[in-house]
Structure formats: C-alpha cells, structure tokens
Structure 1
C-alpha cells in the first residue's frame, strides 16, 4: 500500500511495521494533495505576507483585512478527478467543500467563482460533462444561498479525460469572529457535526495524487455526493457557535477526512489527539475503522469545545437539526491515537505524520525549443476580415457565456452588485466600499512559455480589477499540472510558480493561499492537461465615484486604448483557430506593467471613465465586440502602425485596456508616460465599425450576437451520453 521508500522511513521512525490503518494515514497525508511533497520547495517563492494579510497559507482559508470592522476570507480548491467520473456530484461537492473552508474561519460565504477547463463541445461526452458541472455547481450554490458571481470556461482537447473544476469562495465576516484551525488546550473535546460518515470519497487525497486511468478509477458511487440542504444547516450552526464564542477552533473535513482534520488541528497547537471511532455516526454499520477514518463524506465539520461549553454547542446543533457527537480530545503527549471497540488501532507520533514527509524538488527538463520555422510561421491573411472576426467570436473560447453561466450564477443576493459578463464581480460590503473579484488563467500561452503565461495570468486578473478602480488586495492559486515525476511536467510547474511569484511581487499582491492539483493526465486519451495555473484575486472598490461599466453606456464618448499592441500571436486564440498554436512569438509583457495597472486603476477610480474593459483573449476585436450594447463604436486603428489586420485585431499583448470618457484631459494626465491612444468614439445603434488602415469593417450587433452564441447553440444540441 505505502510506497517502499515511505514505508522504510515510517518503520525507521516508529520502530515497527505500520498496520493497515497507519499505512493509510501516511498514504493520504503524505500524498501530494495533502503534503505538497514535490511542490512545497517551489511554493516557498511566493510572498505571502502584507499589511492587510491576517492569515496566510496553512489554514482552511486565508483572511485579509477589509476595514477596521470587516474581514474577507478566500480559498481556492479543485475537484478535478471526481468531476470526470460524476461531474454533477464532483462540481457540487467542490462548491460545498470550499464553502466549508470559508465558514470555518468565522466568515459567511458570499460568493463563489468557478474557473472550468474542459474538452471541446463538439463531443457528446464533453457537453454532458459541462452541463452537469454547471448544473451541480448551480444547484448547490442556490440551495445554500451563495452567489455564483464569476467564472471562466476554457476549452481544449487536452482536457479530454481530465476536466478541471476549480472553485474560489469568498467570505465576509466581522473581525471579532475570526476563527482558526489551531487547537488550544489539552482536555478540550472535539465535536464532529454534520453528515453521517459513509464510504464516499474513500482515499480521495491519494486518488487526487494519481493519474486518471480506467484501471484505478473509483466507481461512480464512491465519488462524494453533496447534500446542500444539510450544508445550509451546517453553515447556520457553525456561524452561531462561532458568534457565541462557544468553540476554540474549527475545521472542515476535506482531504483525508477525519484523519486529516484531527491530525492537523492537534499538531498545529503542539498537542496529541485521542480519536474515539466508536462515537462516529455511520451510514453503514459494517464500515471498517480504515473506512471511517479516511472517508471523505461531505458536509462534516470538526470543532474544539471546552467541556463547560459542550451542552450549549449540542443545543445549537439540535436547534439546526445537525447531528453532532463527541469523537475525541486533545492530549498533552504528542501522540495520535485511534481507538475502536476498546482497542488502539493506530498510535503514531503526530508531528512525524505532518512533518515527516520527505519534500524535495524533482528533476525538471524543458521541452525541445520550437524551431525558427514555427516561430516565423503565419497564417495567410484572411481575404474576408469581417468573416474572420465573426468566426473568431464563435470560437468556444471567445463566445458569450451568458446563457450557460446564467445557470451557474442564478443565485442572486442583495449583497451582490455590478453586472453580468464584465471583467470582475463586485460585492457590496458597506455603502462606501465593496470587494471586486476575478479568476482565470492563460493555458495556451503557459504551454508555450509557462513563465510568461503565468505572469500574464496575474497581469490579466489585476487588469480585471483595475478597470473597476480596484488595486489587487490578495490572490490565491490552483496549480493544475500533469505528473510531476515527468521532468517536462515538473518544469512547467516550476516555471509557472516563478512567473506567478514574480508578477505578484511586482504588483504587490500577496499570494495568501491555494491548492496544488497534479497528476492531471488521462490514460484514456494519452494526454496531459495544458499547464493551468488558475488564480482568483480580490481588490477593494470605492463607491464614492461611479464604478466604470464593462459595456458602452453613452454615445459621443471618446474611446481610448491604453497600452501597447504588438504583432505577437504565439499561443493566441487566433492562431489556435488557425491551427497554428505553436507558431509565432508569445507576447512580451511590458516591463512597466505594474505602472500600467496602477494608472488604469487610478483613472477608473476618478469617476470620469464611463466604461472600461481589459483586452485579453481574442485581442481588440473581442474586447470591442464584448462592450456593445445599444451603443456601438466607430474605431480607427491606423495610429497603431501594424500592417496586418489580423495582428492588429487579434494580438493578445498584455496590460491593455479600452476606456471611454467624455473628456480626455484628466485621463491623459494620469497616463503620463503610458501609451494612451484615441482610437474612436461611441455611437448610437450598437454596431461596430473598424478602420484597420487598409479596409473598413462593419459589423452589426445582430451579427456579433449570432456569432457569439456558439456555446448556447452547442448546448442546445444536447448529448447522448450517460
């Protein structure tokens, strides 16, 4: 069961052969998913502290200061492997798990963001996966009354067999209710509350640290299933016992189930723990101690309670109809003991369980460099540029997500403000301020240059905040990669971490938490996923001045292009559509991208910018098309001095944005030294007219809307897959 080298290390430490349960404890807690054994040496590059960081990496969720009264929590997790086998349950429990991470910090979940990465929708199975991922997320979020406020859906054939379901949750709370998972006092009892324990998710941490193959894929019935109605009661009960100061620490039961929670909570306080398995409520009477301790049944929480508070806690659980039992206690001696039916089933040094795992960098090797022939290759210039734009807008990676994401984001609470389909979502916290949030990644560019692609990922998310007038407050990551034991895959991971780290430091955005999801490879399709370092980011928004819309609002305004456009299309959606993904030079990130982000943020906070939109995937053509309402634009790009219309329209040069203003004076002053070009004006009618220098392209809003509806059309086809 336990790998030979790990088994040898354990035997040397404890002086005997571990039994089956003890091996299972090490197998799961020493997995990559729990211990970061090969990724931790890289993650140390991140700057995790800052003036607003209250709790950084290491707890269920990170916590940052919003103002003197309020705190924000944020966590990001993945549920990738389960979501391929049972996408509805996999996605639903992904939402449920990340929500419990947030409530364990004493904060109420107010929004979830979901970056999803899947195979193309021309496959019945992929449409089935996408539909069920959306439905599972939406149903769970709606039942627990948490808004699905933002997301990303990205399609590529290398996600066939291994879709990525990443979820970010943001919580809001009062500073006085802050909770951690650090245990406090020997003799205190531990209350397990929520669902009964079953076999679902058994060994999930170990499963998440292995390649997907048909030989070792668990049966669908063992994938954790969610009970959102119970989750809502658990949320309410948890918040009440925290607000009434009845518990000392709290944690969600996630990876490795009861074992993971009890071991890590006790060890953080420097104590031991005695687990009484007999008192764990069970779905099935025939569960073994191994199954009970390592099951990942959902909707379960664990809390440390002083003996004198036990009765009050149990009364609150009863009031909310939440099952709760006393399952163990903290001890002075640093030993982890599991007892069952009067017998000690496991007895291990607790610090060794947590810290004894060997951590080291693995061999890394860059893939063979692309040839000069590829770097210089370009598609023939399209004869019909209008048709080319419409074809691009119908690409699954550029098409409108409005209809399908409405399924996910159908939960709407009064606390949510802002607009659907913009760059960042906004949560109103006070009358004066709110929090903006965004998520996403640049997988295609990460494949060609993981360092640059990861820098662009941070810059793109910072720009999404900037166009709302918000500077980055913090970010979390979900590092989705292939098998780290393959030198090329480990190289992608290593370069991506360096890129994320360097960009976050330059933008002064602390990396406060995250998750590593490795071994994302499919034996079924003989593929590894694209390198996908997805992130979620927060920023603070002021409501003292109007927040810019993501869409054109008024005719007669000046349209400004901020930043520099270069003819660099390697990894762009245009080249992907042209079957030239590996061709061309990847974008170069301007050295002063921090100054660009800062200037755009400042400009968009003045109240003088009516609308603002970041330029990213799909370039200028996509950004302009996305801004259309019943107000359109007449655009002249001749001043950009790029000869080829496709390079002009579809370049994905980073750190660029479109702003519309009534007067350019103040904005030009703010943009001192940063490229700021007048490229047109807004007009009534909702259409788009673009002068490239060699031709004029006229697009109606109806043509753009029809092209952009390709995802909606694909999903209406349905699927014949179960």
Structure 2
C-alpha cells in the first residue's frame, strides 16, 4: 500500500501540533506531490525542527570562519569537528546541549548528554580521552535549583565515571535568569589516526545497512521537537521525550565501533542522537547522494507493538547506524556478537535518493532524503531582529554612581563576598563527584592551570582544552560579550602553555521568533566571528539551542559557550596558575582600568544589575597573549593566571591558595580601588617571577608594546593591601572551598 492511500491523512492542525508552520506543511505537500501520512509528517516535523535543521540560525552560522590548514572535516558535515594535530594524529571534539531534557529529568537529561557527545567522538573513529561541561543554574536559594544541580551533577558523574572518560574541567554559573531553564552543555575530545577516520556517509548500491547497539524503545520520541519549543507548565508531561542512558552499554559500543572501523569494512557510520533512525538514514543518504530501503520490523525493539513513527523517531541511547561493504556482513556481525551487542541488518543502500521505510512488507513512508536535511530542502529563515530597550539603558551606567572603598574593613567584606560567591568559589562540591584521573592522561589535576591539559598517549603532545562564557557579559552586550568568551578561552589556553587551534560552540538562547532574542543571537555570532578570525581559531561545528525561555521568566541570559582546543607540543611548556614561594614578585601583564561594568562585585555585592560589558579591545588582547606565550616558552615566569570573574583580587587569591600562600600588593593610584581590585576589564594576566629572574623579565617586557606593572610580592600567609591584612590565606581558602558545599549540603 502506498503511504498516500492511508484512510485518515493529517491536516494542517496535526502539523501545527507537531511543531510545523502552516507554510511548512504546504511545502511538504509540494515536495511529496501529495498529503503526507502521519509517519511522514512526523519525519518532517523532527528533521525540520530547529534542533535538527538549524532553520532559524544557519544563515548566520555560515558567516563564521571555518577554514585552516589543520581542518580535516568541514564544519557541521560530520559527527564532530576534526583537527590535524601533527604526526599522523587528529583531535575530534565537539560540544552539545541537553538543556530541555535536563530541566525535566536532570539525572537522565545530563547523563544522556554525556553519552551522546562521546558517541559523536567515537563515531569519527576517535577514542575519547577527556570531557568538560558548562552548566548554568538559577538561584541556589530555590529548592528546585538545588534539586536540578544535584541531579545534573550525579548524571554527569555516574555516566562519565562508568564510561571511563575523565572529566577534566568545566564551569558552573548561577543567575536568576536560569531558574526555569538550566543549561547543560557537554564537551568531549578524542584522538584518532588520520588514516582511520570514519565518515557519516552512505553510498554503494546494495551495501547493507545495520543498526547496532541497544534495542529501540519509546524513550525520546519527538525529543528533537521538544528541544525546539519553550519550557512551559506542561513540559513535565513530555517526560517520554527524555532519553535513558546506560554507560556500560556505551563502553561496549565504543570498543565494538572502533574495532569495526579498524576492520576497513565500514562505508559510513553515524550516531543516533536527535531524531534517531530517521536522522541517521536521511543525513547519511543525502551526503552520499544515495537512498535506502529500510525494514523497520527488523529493528530490535524493547517494547512490543511499536509502530513505524515510534521506531523511526525514537531517541533511545547507545545506538549507531552503519553501512558496510557488501560481503562483509558476517565479519561485522561477529564483531558485535563478541561485544554482546545487537547488530541487525535492517536494509540496503539504493540509488533512488529516497528513503523507503517498510513495516512487515508494507510501505510505511516514502520520502526524499535531501529534502529532509540541512543544506537540502529543509527550510531556511531570515528572522527579524531588533535591539532591545534594555541595551541602551545598560550603556548609561556611570561608575561615579557607586562609592569607592573608604577603609580596609569595607574591602575585606567585599573580598569575602567575592570568594564565597558561587560563581567564583571553588566548584569542589561538583568536581569531587567526577573522576578526573581515569585514563592516566590528565596533566592538570595536581597542577592547577587555566585550562585542562591532557596527554596524547604515545606522544609528547598534549591537548589543552577549555569551555568559557560569561553569560552576564553577553546579556549586557552580545557582540562584545561573545568576543570576550572566545578571547578568554584563548587566554586560558595560552596561560596554560598551549597554542589555540580551533573552537566548537554551543549557542544557548531564547525563542528565535522574538526579535530582541534574535538580536542577541546575531550580535553573538558577529562577536564570535571577529574574535575567531583574530586568533585563527576556526569553528569546527557545535550546536544551537534555542527556546531556552519560559512564559513566566522570559529568556535565559544568552550563553554562546565556547569550547576551545589548544595544542601543547612540548610538555616543558606546561604553565600553572599557583604562586610557588614567598618572596617571588607579582606582576600584572596588561592594563587595569577604571571599570566595574558587569563585574560580579557590581552585580551581586552592590546589586547594580544594569551595566555594559567590561572593557575589551581585541588588539590589546592579542598583544597580551603573544607576550604570555613568549614568557612561557622562554621559562621567564613561575605562574600565569588570567584576570576574569571576580577581577584582580580573585585572580590573586586563586594563585595564592593552592600552596597556602598569600600576597602583598600596592594599588595603582591612578585607578579607583574598587575597580583595581574587583573590576573585570579584560586582557590582563597575573604572573609571578623569581627575584633572580626579575631583571630578565623586566627587560623582555620593556621590549614589547604591552603595559605591565609590579603589583607586589608573594607573602607567606596573608592577603595584604599595602601591608594591611585583608584575609588570611587559610581563612580565604575556607570560604572559597566550602561555599557551594555548605549550600548544597544544608
């Protein structure tokens, strides 16, 4: 029976309920030359959702820089980005969101986010070696926020620890704008030999198509559509749209996948993430300009009587679609039998460029592959955008409207607030639930640095990785704030001894149909573009997460999370952030400014929520980073730590506390004291220098155009300003280490 002969065909109202626009329903009718049946309409609804098609973002994503001599895969065309790191090796890396599922079911939402991003890596033929995560939550005074944080952290920890990949770093940020919509962004990186890379493609008429891994259930159906709408009061009813993960099954799938790729029998392979079977079959077929004939009744299921659309759209975890060379079926089956995993041939490759899905011999759906996918027939929109009224209001902030410090006691109180604020305080309560050492490659667990450093086994190389974004800055000024996110990621890598190479991004915004929200998105892309071009860090891919918005609370702070990959060729270049001994000199590389804009001090201590992004100049930033690279490679400094959240005081404290040291510094008399200590103007790095190396350091700095200043010296135990004690190192560490834990365990 042809699909169009079904008795009750869907209407435009059905299409709307599935998240399609009226004009999209009409376009589907034109593509098919008939009215789609429900299965076909469901196929288009998930493939044309924002989550899969990027229909509201692709016009701007295409403006981002994507080329470099190191790039081995075109952005967005494979499961993950792929960058040449030399000596026949490549690094595959990517960041993705699992925001909506985590808002409804935090444990499984976060766990399956970790599972999904790691599958993207090993589907490329790369063995994952490190994970990071970037998390955003609401007010910790709320029971809901604490519940979400506990669930997400447990989900990440339990899945990642069991899977056996170390979580080597990340960030956690709190703000009321995330009360309803938390953000859960997961990053993974892996290593592959350049001659063993697998592609997400299908071709060769008659080649068999296999589904491998877990059985298919009803979890996650319409998950892609769910991720393409606002969170509302009925969102909890969509719990079946949240997937369920099994890290032990994923570990088996990792080993089996790498083994089958190494066999040389694989034509193409793709992870089944958003939209499940329909996404993998359509994207692989469209890329290879072929078609497929798929028999859905041959798909291993774990629930009885699943109907075609449920099998096609299920987002059950730990599954892959593999196309292998004809005649290699038995070898493929044997590999997955060895690992005790499902391996079922469900179809063959055709030359039709169409996808024909059968159920017990009957044609359930007949759709053209190319019309389903990004770059093919999927709709592309140029959305309206408009500067929000708040933007000009933020620009009107005047630093003279707030009082500077009048005495040491006032500074001490502000310092305590900063060190104990959950955006700045240690995330020990979080990271102690993660295994950071499994795999024995992490170089930075006991050597604190601004970015994570992970050894590439069998090589002297290390990858240097970080995730960065200050959502408060992006809210204040999307273009400037996103450029700062790229710059800070690069600064973190440089301060750790690495060379920035490329980025992946996770773009978290509200509803794209709201012009003021879309303005934030456009501004962020512009800022990312100019910063990536300056640092020669092309965009390898990533994902867009819109609809992080609720009817009650409005949109979240815009959060374009930057995941950056750096490379360290020589392990001797590894640089840490901790002061080494009392008596060493402390310098600031870069210039302090009379700037409190968007600082944590201004926002939470003084309660001034409306101010512009902090001062930032891309040329100054580039020059500072070039100087730091030179100082590191010439072994002229003992430590390096970038000045970011919490300002200079937080940077000094974080450098002093690891070894129980302190500091005594003298303020810049040309700068307000509050701005000097707690302002967050960019392009600054705190470094320490031995007394013996001081002359050489000063001479080297004087040969550059970069401003620098002597702040003071490393002290044995206290935090001092002009010899006046502010805090003891032990007292500061108590505040810093335990602030988050006390809230979570209360």
Name the TM-score, length of structure 2 as normaliser: 0.93
Report what 2:30 is aligned to: 12
Distance 1:704 1:323, change over 3 A: same
Give 1:640 deviation, angstroms: 5.9
How many angstroms apart in 2 are the aligned matches of 1:675 and 1:463?
16
1:65 to 1:665, Cα distance in 2 relative to 1, 3 A: farther
Structure 1, unmatched stretches of 5+, are 718-722
Post-superposition offset of 1:288: 1.1
Change beyond 3 A, Cα 1:606–1:183: farther
Partner of 2:239: 220
Name the structure 2 match of 1:534. Answer: 561
Residue 745 of structure 2: which of 705, 716, 720 is its match? 716
| Residue 439 of structure 2 is aligned to residue 413 of structure 1 | yes
Counterpart-to-counterpart distance in 1, 2:190 and 2:395? 49
Counterparts of residues 282-431 of structure 1 (less than 5 Å): 282-354=301-373, 355-368=376-389, 369-370=392-393, 374-376=397-399, 378-382=401-405, 384-419=410-445, 422-429=449-456, 430-431=458-459
Once the two structures are superposed, residues 231-280 of structure 1 have per-residue CA deviations (whole angstroms, 9 ceiling, x without a partner) of: 00000100111122121111100111000001000110111111110100
Matching of residue 86 in structure 1 with residue 105 in structure 2: yes
Q: Is the 8 A contact 1:569 1:585 kept in 2?
A: no
Aligned mates of 1:249, 1:661 — CA distance in 2:
53
On the 8 A contact 1:568/1:584 being kept in 2, the answer is no
1:464 is aligned to 2:492: yes
Aligned twin of 2:7 = none
Contact persistence 2:215–2:302 (CA under 8 A): yes
| 1:100 and 2:119 aligned | yes
Shift of 1:606: 2.4
1:44-70 C-alpha deviation (Å, 9 max, x unpaired): 111111011111312110110111221
Secondary structure at 1:452 match in 2 = helix
For the pair 1:263 / 2:286, whether they are aligned, the reply is no
Instruction: Give the equivalent residue in structure 2 for 1:494.
Output: 522
In structure 2, the residue matched to 1:571 is: 598
Partner SS for 1:333:
coil
CA distance in 2, matches of 1:676, 1:381: 24
Distance in 2 of aligned mates of 1:497 and 1:447: 14
Note the 1:115-130 alignment, pairs <5 A.
115-130=134-149
Asked if 1:553 corresponds to 2:574, the answer is no
- Pick one of 693, 700, 710 that aligns with 1:678: 710
Quickly say closer, same or farther: Cα 1:557–1:226, change in 2 above 3 A: same
**Residues 679-722 of structure 1, C-alpha deviations (whole Å, 9 max, x = no match):** 1122333x32123xxx83432112212221210111111xxxxx
For residue 673 of structure 1, give the secondary structure of its aligned residue in structure 2. Answer: coil
2:466 and 2:574 mapped to 1: Cα distance?
A: 16
Instruction: Give the C-alpha shift of residue 35 in structure 1.
Output: 0.8
Distance (Å, rounded) in 2 between the aligned partners of 1:120 and 1:638: 34
Q: CA deviation at 1:551?
A: 1.0
Correspondence 1:131 to 2:131: no
Question: How far off its partner does 1:501 sit?
Answer: 0.9
1:246 alignment partner in structure 2: 265
- The answer as to whether partners of 2:498 and 2:574 remain within 8 angstroms in 1 is no
Residue from 532, 536, 543 that aligns with 1:515:
543
1:218 CA drift (Å): 3.8
Task: Tell me, in whole angstroms, the C-alpha distance in 1 between the residues paired with 2:26 and 2:221.
Answer: 25
Q: CA deviation at 1:150?
A: 0.9
Bigger mean CA offset, 542-551 vs 502-511: 542-551
1:357 counterpart SS class: coil
Question: Matched residues in 1 for 2:34 and 2:535: separation?
Answer: 51
- RMSD, matched Cα: 1.7
Where 1:407 maps in the other structure, the secondary structure is: coil
How does the TM-score come out when normalised to structure 1? Answer: 0.96
Q: Secondary structure at the match of 1:438?
A: strand
CA distance in 1, matches of 2:554, 2:67: 37
Contact 1:469 1:603 in 2 (8 A): no
Residue number in structure 1 paired with 2:252: 233
Query: 1:720 maps to which residue?
Result: none
| Cα pair 1:377 1:584 within 8 Å, conserved | no
Q: Once the 2 structures are TM-superposed, how far is the Cα of residue 665 of structure 1 from its aligned partner?
A: 4.2
Paired residue secondary structure (2:327):
helix
Q: Give how far 1:584 is off.
A: 5.9
The answer to whether the 8 A contact 1:549-1:611 is kept is yes
The alignment partner of 1:50 has SS state of coil
Q: Alpha carbons of 1:357 and 1:217: their partners in 2 closer, same or farther (altered >3 Å)?
A: farther
Conserved? CA contact 1:385–1:697, under 8 Å: no
Equivalent-residue separation in structure 2 for 1:65 and 1:360 (angstroms): 34
Q: Deviations over 1:300-320 (max 9, x none)?
A: 011111121111111110111
1:119 and 1:306 map into 2 onto residues whose CA distance is: 50
For 1:460-490, what per-residue CA distance to the aligned partner results, in whole angstroms no more than 9, with x for missing partners?
1101001112121111000000000000000
For residue 567 of structure 1, report the CA deviation from its aligned partner.
Answer: 1.9
C-alpha contact 2:92 2:191 (8 A) present in aligned 1:
yes
1:554, CA displacement in angstroms?
2.4
